[in-house]
Amino acid sequence: MEEEPPATGLAARDDLRSALPFLPVVLRGGALFWPPAAQESLRALALGPDVSRVASGDVLADALTDLRLALALPALPSRAADGLALFFDDLLSRAQARGWFAEVVPNLARLLLRLPALLEDHYAKAGHGASGLRVLASQDSGVVLLSQELVAALLTCALFCLFPTAGRAQACLPTINFDGLFTALIHRSQSQEQKVRCIVHYFERVTDSTPTGFVSFERKVLPRRGLSDSIPYPDIHAWLASSAPLCQFRVFSSGFIEDEEQEALQVDFANKYLGGGALSRGCVQEEIRFMINPELIVGMLFMASMEDNEAIEIFGAERFSQYMGYGSSFRFVGDYLDTKPFDSMGRRRTRIVAIDALDCPARLHYESGCLLREVNKAFCGFFDQSKHQLYVKLFQDSHNKGNFPSINSNEYIGVSTGNWGCGAFGGNPEIKSMIQWIAASQALRPFVNYYTFEDASLERLEEVIQWILRHGWTVGELWHMLIEYSSQRLRGETYKGFFAWLLPSNRPNNEVHYMSE
């Protein structure tokens, strides 16, 4: 029996083979195609409502079921169909609905008809440190760079619920189709309606004018075992030994991370599954960010859930919507024109880093293992892989205080964050603010801009920051104090908050002098 010749072209690409089971297109004869029945349905949609008869939410739901059946997927869930009808036939104004079905839906269908060509072009150009679209599984560090046009096409697949779902749970991939988003409308939640309005606005924008930039999605990993070209997972003693100086720390009682004016890593208070409840009923910090920057959602297609030593950084996602409120009070209030400049790769200079906090009883947050997990999670999000040799040196040399590398002015990229993991996950804002300061400083970030959201427990944060900076503490010294405080809390030797415990008026003189020497 003759051996089959080796695969060539697209068929030989490991990245495409990884992604293909989760895409609605097929590979045949070295090229990507829509299945014939699906292509015929898309062509009809592209000709507008006079041909497709798709001029209402309920008929759109029927058309999407036809598309799904053409892709060997089950019919659109009935409650999702009801949600589509509710939104486009009852909640949207008649004028906006007419524009949606006359212009937006046909343009989205035309975009989907170009999806195979967009993907082929994407894989042909992949390289220079970024792979083609592939599943980035747990412990698989890497970068995927996508054009905004391809992102829009993939998001249209999600809107039309065309992505295969078989195997996603086994691959630890989050939900990606929008059926859950529309199903949740049935509960008549105002915030849910407003989330959909953000998404609809995004599609109106990108069909009116196709964006031309790029977005990168990076899986960052702190390996459990040290590798020559990576940063190892630090233990408690490594943090104690760190000689890194603490960076500048600014406190803002008002304002929002997404409105950060300086170039900074903007922290997404993430779920371990990227996006959290963005495509279901969630409407807190992460979900809101995914609604106003919908390009973030594409990461949910191929980013597996995060382990304790992983983070996800997304660079270049454009913001499209203005909003107000939070949770049940969230409201879409109009268009947002993103004026962030582009880098040399065509990405907007917006860096969003997803780090998931521990969700556990409050007492466990003081366990040394939990403190270590949180500081390493934040460090994983904040580090720059190109500086790994500097990080290793700072972890190893506790006698190097004052002799540390300067920040290149071209790399003046700080951290913009807030009360990470302090809502439903039960974290302590005083502890979490210190953990993020430690992690950002160790990552050689020049500053932390911290938004307290007027949390009363952080009224003394500025006072504590200035006191620590006056004493010139290093990362290792502040980490030591966190460990000591937490051990006293666990032993029942103190019930004060960290700030009250730390400041001189509340501590024995010998302890203050010990850390001031």
Query: Are the C-beta atoms of residues 239 and 438 closer than 8 Å to each other?
Result: yes
State yes or no: 326 annotated in a binding site. yes
462: annotated active-site residue:
no
Query: Are the C-beta atoms of residues 47 and 147 closer than 8 Å to each other?
Result: no
For residue 341, count other CB atoms closer than 10 A to its CB: 9
Instruction: Give the pLDDT of residue 504.
Output: 81
What is the residue whose two structure tokens read 């972890």? Answer: 395
Q: Are β-strands 310-315 and 321-324 bridged in parallel, bridged antiparallel, or unpaired? A: unpaired
Query: Are the C-beta atoms of residues 79 and 61 closer than 8 Å to each other?
Result: no
Query: Are the C-beta atoms of residues 96 and 87 closer than 8 Å to each other?
Result: no
Q: What is the pTM of this model?
A: 0.94
Structure tokens, 95: 């004028």
286: annotated active-site residue:
yes
Q: For residue 297, which amino acid is it?
A: I
Question: Rounded to whole angstroms, how far apart are CA atoms 67 and 69?
Answer: 5
287: annotated active-site residue:
yes
Query: Which stretches of the chain score pLDDT less than 50?
Result: 1, 409, 510, 512-517
Residue-wise pLDDT for 434-459, tens only, equals 999 999 999 999 999 999 999 999 99
State yes or no: 410 annotated in a binding site. no
How far, CA to CA in Å, does 444 sit from each of 351, 379, 385, 438? 16, 10, 11, 10
Question: Which entry of 286, 295, 356, 430 is annotated as an active-site residue?
Answer: 286
Q: 386: which DSSP letter?
A: G
Question: Which entry of 258, 287, 374, 430 is annotated as an active-site residue?
Answer: 287
Question: Which entry of 268, 295, 310, 430 is annotated as an active-site residue?
Answer: 268
For residue 142, count other CB atoms closer than 10 A to its CB: 16
State yes or no: 271 annotated in a binding site. yes
